[in-house]
Structure 1
Amino acid sequence: MTPLPHALARATALVVLAGGALVGAPAGAAPRTAAPGADRPDPTAAGWCADRAGLVVKGAEHQVSACLGDLTTAGTVASGHTVQSDWNGLHAAGTRNPSGVPGIQLDGYFPDTSTTNTHHGWDHDAQFVIRLPEEWNGGIVVTGAPGVRGQYANDFIIGDWVLSKGYAFASTDKGNTGAAYYRDGSSPGGSIREWHRRVTELTRATKRVVRQAYGAQADRTYMAGISNGGYLTRWQLENKPQLFDGGLDWEGTLFRAEGPNLLTFLPTALKNYPAYAATGDPAAHDAIIAAGFAPGSEFLWAFHHSYYWDLTQRIYREELDPTWDGALDAGIPFCASGTPSCDADYNYASRPRAVKDAVRSVSLTGRIRRPMITVHGSLDTLLPPAVDSDVYDALVDEAGSGRMHRYYLVEDGTHTDGLYPAYPDRLRPLLPCARDAFDLLTAWVEDGVTPPPDGFRPRPTGGDLLDTCEL
């Protein structure tokens, strides 16, 4: 899961949490920039795209469309058809991405009553983007935004890659965005439960619009996502398998009513990190390790304490247990243990049954019914694998679904590849491993090629870590 927007600095975090700056309305009157280096006919002229001007996203309350010379971020940044702040920080600087994919982009929103997503000046949640490449391979990839980001969050790390392979690509903001996503008017757990519905809604709508655009049903539909998007991959393959043929789970969040979940390990980190940072207190260090954080991840603790642990704990606790802090709205930032209603002192085990019921309403079971590959970094310091994917892998096996699951724990990967340039000798990007996993998944589903067995994937001693990975 992606409990909060990924950010490399507080200023960046605030921009992301605010929903992202408007890059440009998809259907604006300003001239479009031609696809860099494109050697194909301009799809904005008469031809494939222009012949499909009447595409309709069923169920959408509002939609706009555009013929673009390049649907990848290399083109959409210039043309105003992405919001870069949605995806900043999720990939390592210098990552090479494909480009030059002409086609149709559909932007819009489904009916909703909340207004946390301000993209395009719409002030309307349940926003989506659908991209239809001119050269289609017969498949669809659906994603949900990580953390509390908007619908363009996966454009660079997933969209560019799958579009270059010929897949139609669709992504949703999940129905609520930003650090106050829990204020959408629903009961505890309701904002997260809406994520499920929005992915299902977009998947069905995308299948229909694909039939309109290409005159044929999709041969394959895959779900993919990072962090909260990985959680949604797990949930959809457990609960809506009829819509999908397989899924890529990149460090998905784990909710379990009996634990573990975010609210069982983040408070321990918040309570003990100040003492560890001030004096190196061994007891505080050992408490954080015992909560599930990996030995060797200590060099990442200062960053995560500043930008992830506190905000993630407070906003997800407010969503699932708003009574903990009374009338306060998501608690007290960076409060010291002992402060009344401080999230550093939150004890999930002692909370009333209603809290456990709220978590149960968004819990995972492990009963996946389509092939799925999980990739997780050994140094993930927001969702440590010991209390996340290790546990979920065991749940899948206990549920009798182990034959449909592969789990690769990648040495030195962490929650966001944006940290890699700061620690190139201690971290490695997970994006190339996620791409390898997607290729393994499609070969498994479409060609019956069994993926390598589960296991730990050690850091290579050489080679290009930025753009390659061998699972």
Structure 2
Amino acid sequence: MGLYNTFVTHTLRESPAGHFTLADDDGCVPAPEPPAPSGAATAAAAAAPGGRTVSGCPASLRVPGAAHQRVSCLDELTTAGTVASGHTDPADWAGLTPKDLPTPSGVPGVQIDGYFPDTSATNTNHGWMHDAQFVLRLPDRWNGGLVVSGTPGNREQYANDRAIGDWVLSRGYAFAATDKGNTGTSFQRDGRRPGDAIAEWNTRLTQLTRAARAVVAQRYHRPPARTLATGMSNGGYLVRWQLENHPELYDGGVDWEGTLWRADGPHLFTFLPPALRHYPVYAAGGPAAGAARKAMHAAGYPAGSEFLWPYHHTYYWGLTQRIYREELDPGYPGADADYDWAARPERVRGAVDRIALTGRIGKPLMTVHGTLDVLLPITRDSDVYARMVREAGRGGLHRYYRVEGGTHTDALVDAFPDRLRPLVPCHRSAFTALEGWIGRGERPPAGRTVPLPAGAGAAELLVGCRL
């Protein structure tokens, strides 16, 4: 499954470029050096909360459990600097945010890239050809908090840099992200049993959270005062799962349109096959188009979202159904458009049950989801999860905001600025509301459908979202 237990001893070695790599004691440094940082190492002390200071380039930082790590001291930890310095990969986060999303800057600090022991090799970042890659960023000016995240889709560890990482770093948080242990459209080849690859995602975020908390304590000489989990899509699923299964590690989380898995459905296998069957009939026009449109609505795709259907049929629905079906039901012999979840054998249900959510969260959770999401339709996903949380008796720990005009991928706002609103500002509003909830006891606004402000332009919607 890409997880194995091996004890390996390591040593730190400094390269001529000023990076520190963690090498096996046999002397092998398993990866080439990245480009040198864009500026000089941040050796000058910076003021930190509570009157403490953080100074120097801490080559001695160790990520517990890492098989390989590289420490870099950078003048800029946000994408305003890491794109040029080679400490992010824009391909990881392409297509996730609006093109005009501002990039904060002025965040010097330490970045640690590396990977945990793993047997799969789908992640090509740094030429490592090794999964379970992670990135940790430790700003010189630290606010006492840590944000951890898993990636959306099947992307690599830098996928959240622009949507989440830049903003939380600019607010003083340490930030850590994982590739979840397998990446790409062949992620399902990782593991021995159906569901192994997805189950590893949860294990990897737990692993990273524990390691990142330890590294924060090394760097700042005290543990984080608060640890928050956040992520979008599959990353949102991880937030839900972590707060259900490891609430002791977190103070709260923000779930951005998390994927829902439950053995009884709904899930991808109950609403994607109808889309694959009925959309081509709708798109062809003719006398059957009206009935096909009604069937799409019945499957969960909301009226008014039709303008998004062609793009999702071309790029998302078929691919998503296939790769997750190959992960959880590899023995299925038919066409994915004909897939019938209710008719599949019990073993398939068991595979989904291994990764299923329960709603039994143990720490405060904020959920944001767009009403025009046509990859994870809101009535088949977050509406259901909110009900699960209430039925589990945890409704007091949950706030759920249905964002009118939001869709699954914020980059589509650039294509339809008069019909869609970005969810990035709504995620940030939920995050700051969570801070007030757990930090100052300020109860966040009651869950509701957040209306699209009348007459609001694209620039206004990009910088604000009143919950």
Is contact 1:293-1:384 (8 Å) kept?
Answer: yes
Task: Tell me the SS of whatever aligns to 1:166.
Answer: coil
Q: Note the C-alpha offset of 1:137.
A: 0.7
Tell me how far apart the structure 1 counterparts of residues 36 and 137 of structure 2 sit (CA, whole Å).
Answer: 20
User: Matches of 1:252 and 1:59 in 2, distance apart?
Assistant: 28
TM-score normalized with structure 1 length = 0.88
1:421 Cα deviation (Å)?
Answer: 1.1
Superposed CA offset, 1:191-212 (max 9, x none): 0000010000000000101111
Cα distance in 2 for partners of 1:27, 1:88 equals: 25
* Residue of structure 2 aligned with 1:241, choices 229, 240, 247: 247
- Return the offset for 1:228: 0.2
**In 1, Cα distance between equivalents of 2:79 and 2:202:** 27
- Residue of structure 1 in register with 2:123 after alignment: 117
Q: Match for 1:412: what amino acid?
A: G
Deviation at 1:27, TM superposition (A): 7.6
Is 2:463 aligned against 1:470? Answer: no
Please state how far the C-alpha of 1:269 moved relative to its aligned partner: 0.2
Match of 1:60 in 2: 66
In 1, Cα distance between equivalents of 2:325 and 2:426: 32
What SS does the aligned partner of 2:230 have? strand
Q: Do structure 1's residue 190 and structure 2's residue 186 form an aligned pair?
A: no
Within the candidate set 386, 389, 399, 2:382 is matched to: 389
Would you say the 8 A contact 2:113–2:135 is kept in 1?
yes
Aligned AA for 1:213? R
Give, in whole Å, the separation in 1 of the partners of 2:144 and 2:359. 29
SS at match of 1:132: strand
Asked if 1:460 is matched to 2:453, the reply is: yes
Superposition map of 1:45-56 within 5 A: 45=43, 48=54, 50-56=56-62
1:269 and 2:265 equivalent?
no
Asked if structure 2 preserves the Cα contact closer than 8 Å seen for 1:246 and 1:445, the reply is: yes
> Retained in 2: the 8 A contact 1:270–1:305?
yes
The one-letter code of the counterpart of 1:324 is Y
* Displacement after TM superposition at 1:97 (Å): 2.5
Q: Is the 8 A contact 1:188 1:319 kept in 2?
A: yes
CA contact (8 A) 2:32 2:127 kept: no
SS at match of 1:439: helix
DSSP 3-state at the match of 1:96: coil
SS at match of 1:306: helix
Question: Aligned partners of 1:163 and 1:67: how far apart in 2?
Answer: 15
Residue 32 of structure 1: how far off its partner (Å): 2.4
Q: How far off is 1:43 after superposition?
A: 3.9
Q: Which residue of 1 aligns with 2:157?
A: 151
Structure 2 residues not aligned, in runs of 5+: 1-29, 46-53
Query: What is the SS of the residue equivalent to 1:374?
Result: strand
Inter-partner Cα distance in structure 2 for 1:177 and 1:32: 27
Query: Could you tell me how far apart the structure 1 residues matched to 2:44 and 2:366 are?
Result: 41
SS for the counterpart of 1:50 is coil
C-alpha contact (below 8 Å) 1:27/1:66 kept by paired residues: no
Give a deviation string over 1:367-391, Cα, whole Å, max 9, x none.
Answer: 0010000000000010000000000
Residues 433, 468 of structure 1: 8 Å contact kept = yes
What's the secondary structure of 1:466's corresponding residue? Answer: helix
TM, length-normalised to structure 2 = 0.89
For 1:370, the aligned partner's letter is: K
- Residues 29 and 459 of structure 1: is their aligned pair in 2 closer, same or farther, counting only changes over 3 Å? closer
Matched with 2:295 is 287
Paired residue for 1:70?
76
Distance 1:346 1:99 in 2: 48
Q: Which amino acid aligns with 1:64?
A: R
Residue in 1 that maps onto 2:8: none
Where in structure 2 are the equivalents of 1:311-326 lying within 5 Å? Answer: 311-325=319-333
Matched letter for residue 214 of structure 2: R
1:377-421 deviation per Cα after TM superposition (whole angstroms, max 9, x unaligned): 000010000000000000000000000000000000000110001
Pair 1:357-2:350 in alignment = yes
Shift of 1:51: 4.3
4+ residue segments displaced more than 2 Å: 25-32, 42-51
User: Considering only aligned residues, what root-mean-square deviation do their CA atoms show, in Å?
Assistant: 1.4
User: Helix, strand or coil: the match of 2:73?
Assistant: strand
Instruction: Note the C-alpha offset of 1:462.
Output: 3.4
Quote how far apart the aligned CAs of 1:29 are.
6.4
Contact 1:96 1:467 in 2 (8 A): no
Q: Which has the higher contact order (CA 8 A, sep 6+)?
A: 1
Q: Identity percentage over the alignment?
A: 60
Q: Judge conservation of contact 1:429–1:466 (CA < 8 Å) in 2.
A: yes
Q: Which amino acid in the other structure matches residue 444 of structure 1?
A: W
Deviations 1:275-324 (A, max 9, x none): 10001611111111101111110000000000000000000000000000
Q: Is the 8 A contact 1:293 1:381 kept in 2?
A: yes
Q: 5 Å matches for 1:195-344?
A: 195-279=201-285, 281-325=289-333, 341-344=334-337
Q: Secondary structure at the match of 1:129?
A: strand
Query: How many equivalent pairs are there?
Result: 425
Q: What letter corresponds to residue 459 of structure 1 in structure 2?
A: L
Q: Is the 8 A contact 1:234 1:249 kept in 2?
A: yes
Determine the C-alpha separation between the residues in 1 that align with 2:194 and 2:160.
Answer: 27
1:375 is the counterpart of 2:368? yes
CA–CA separation in structure 1 for the residues paired with 2:35 and 2:56: 18
- Report the Cα distance in structure 2 between the residues aligned to 1:60 and 1:129, rounded to whole angstroms: 11
Aligned partner letter, 1:413: G
User: What corresponds to 2:99 in structure 1?
Assistant: 93
Q: In structure 1, what residue type is equivalent to 2:293? A: H
Relative distance call for 1:438 and 1:26 in structure 2 (3 A) is: farther
1:130 aligned residue (136, 144, 156): 136
Q: In structure 1, what is the Cα distance between the partners aligned to 2:330 and 2:34?
A: 44
Deviation at 1:30, TM superposition (A): 4.1
CA contact (8 A) 1:238 1:369 kept: yes
1:26 and 1:324 mapped to 2: Cα distance?
A: 39
Q: CA deviation at 1:467?
A: 1.8
CA distance in 1: counterparts of 2:326 and 2:292, whole angstroms:
26
Instruction: Describe the SS at the equivalent of 1:296.
Output: coil
State which drifts further: 95-104 or 44-53. Answer: 44-53
Name the SS of the counterpart of 2:107 in structure 1.
coil
Determine helix, strand or coil for the equivalent of 2:164.
helix
Q: C-alpha separation between the residues in 2 aligned to 1:234 and 1:445?
A: 17
